[in-house]
Homo-oligomer: A and B are copies of this chain.
Amino acid sequence: MLNPEHTKALRGFVGGDNFFTDPAHLSTYAYDATRERHLPEGVIFPKNEQEISQILAYCNQHQIIVVPRGAGSGFTGGALGVSGGLILSVEKHLDKILEIDTKNLIARVQPGVINKHFQNEVEKLGLFYPPDPASQDQSTLGGNVSENAGGMRAAKYGITKDYVMALRAVLPNGDIIRAGKKTIKDVAGFNVAGILIASEGCLAVISEITLKLLAKPKLRQSAMGVFQSIQEAMEAVYKTMASGVTPVAMEFLDNLSIRAVEERFHKGLPIEAGAILITQVDGSVPEQIEWQLNAIEGHFKANGCVDFQTAHNAIEEENLWFSRRNASQSISVYGKKKLNEDVTVPRASLPALLEEVGRISKAYNLPIPCFGHTGDGNVHVNIMLENPETQLEQGQRAMEEIFKCAIALEGTLSGEHGIGLSKAKFMPLAFSPEEMGLFRAIKKAFDPNNILNPFKMGL
């Protein structure tokens, strides 16, 4: 519990304008995208790394829980304080792009920079930062690193971890450390940056991020394939990817998702289709684009694609992507509450995963629209509840079956969203007692007093 002495000390570190215990602030920082509510005892906005260090050293000494927070756009409760404690927000001050090094294609940023803002700034210089989580307009790069955010472009360009070259971070005891280098190759010392990525704010507070950039591809083009059955579409996905074409994105909508978008927006979508695949390729010369689209069309048609369209200008491109961009909001036509998870399997197991989801949907009599990033095997599974009061337990049981199915197919509990609170209870499905023991030992090595974002990940 924060006592008056603590609040005085914490206020002393950052100034009265940057530390709050009033109900309005506490209430605002009690939420994230899970819509769970966990009231913290204080909210603090450090102005720099030195202040983060002071705060953590003090909280460590006094056993005060600290929960680091970016934009609070996470889906698994990673930025929520479970039992009070202090929310340490990087929003207010730590939002600067410190350097865009066009000679080395590297940028240094503070953790509170919004992903999309960063993308825009580097694109002005002809550069490219690929990771594009759906939350990109809100989510921070610090949050992206902490959750190892993915996105649509992962099929070709990988995920956040593939772009983190180095981090600065503050350990729970207040020690400031650097991890990694501004070099492509660096094998000196343990890969501390590697383990901080995706650590959900449980090991250290990230204070600065060095990111790899690419040159912006000169050309890009999108295409869409309509399939009669979802099985055929899923076969087309993995066969295309295995053939040596690597599209930037390979996204899908199932029949329920297509119908939902059509119901809301009347775009003339193929509502009888089992699934649509939407893809984008990029490159430096037109022939490279053409080669890729021809190859994709060939693989699609060999696997049951009944209609293949390419976009020839920006408007057609926008139209082609419309259904995918609006899928998430549209599926609310099926119910007031959704249980949405992001299971991921090896691509060739997509047909089996989607078949199983169909079976579970029937067995539990719940609509389960699916869409997502099939190019990397990542499916957003949405169990829709019309009456959350009566259907919640049933929905949760259905979700557990889906998790078990994903694990059985050598997949993972989470491709993008992390574990946080929401999936904590499912960790034993995926990890052995020995593996959980190792996670706890790692947590303890960084945070012996367990003050930093405790109770997350089932630890």
Residues of A within 8 A of B (CB): 101-106, 126, 147-148, 150, 154-155, 158-159, 161-162, 171, 175-179, 181-192, 194-195, 197-199, 203, 214-216, 218, 238-239, 241-246, 283-288, 291-292, 344-348, 373, 376-378, 410-419, 423, 427, 430-432, 434-435, 437-439, 441-446, 457
Contacts and interface: CB of A to CB of B under 8 A. Distances in A.
Interface centre among A214, A344, A376 (most CB of B within 10 A): A344
Nearest to A437: B175
Contact of A104 (B186, B283, B286, B348): B348
A345 B183 contact: yes
B187 A417 contact: yes
A243 B126 CA distance: 9
Contacts of A430: 188-189
Contact of A413 (B162, B188, B345): B188
Given A148-B187, A183-B410, 9 more contacts: A103-B238, A104-B238, A148-B191, A188-B418, A188-B423, A189-B419, A215-B244, A215-B246, A285-B291
A290 to B, nearest CB: 8
Contact of A216 (B106, B176, B244): B244
A175 B377 contact: no
Given A184-B376, A187-B415, A412-B185, A192 B438 contact: yes
A347 B213 CA distance: 13
Copies of this chain: 2
Contact of A412 (B183, B242, B345): B183
A297 to B, nearest CB: 15
B417 A183 contact: no
A236 B311 CA distance: 38
A62 B149 CA distance: 43
B199 A412 contact: no
A185 B150 contact: yes
A104 to B, nearest CB: 4
15 contacts: A102-B242, A104-B238, A126-B244, A148-B187, A154-B184, A177-B434, A178-B432, A183-B377, A185-B416, A186-B415, A187-B198, A187-B416, A188-B413, A189-B457, A194-B197
A101 B348 contact: yes
A216 B129 CA distance: 25
Contact of A184 (B103, B106, B158): B158
A203 B194 CA distance: 15
Nearest to A349: B104
A185 B410 contact: no
A191 B200 CA distance: 11
B186 A344 contact: yes
Nearest to A286: B287
A156 to B, nearest CB: 10
Contacts of A283: 288
A242 B182 CA distance: 15
A195 B438 CA distance: 12
Contacts of A378: 183-185
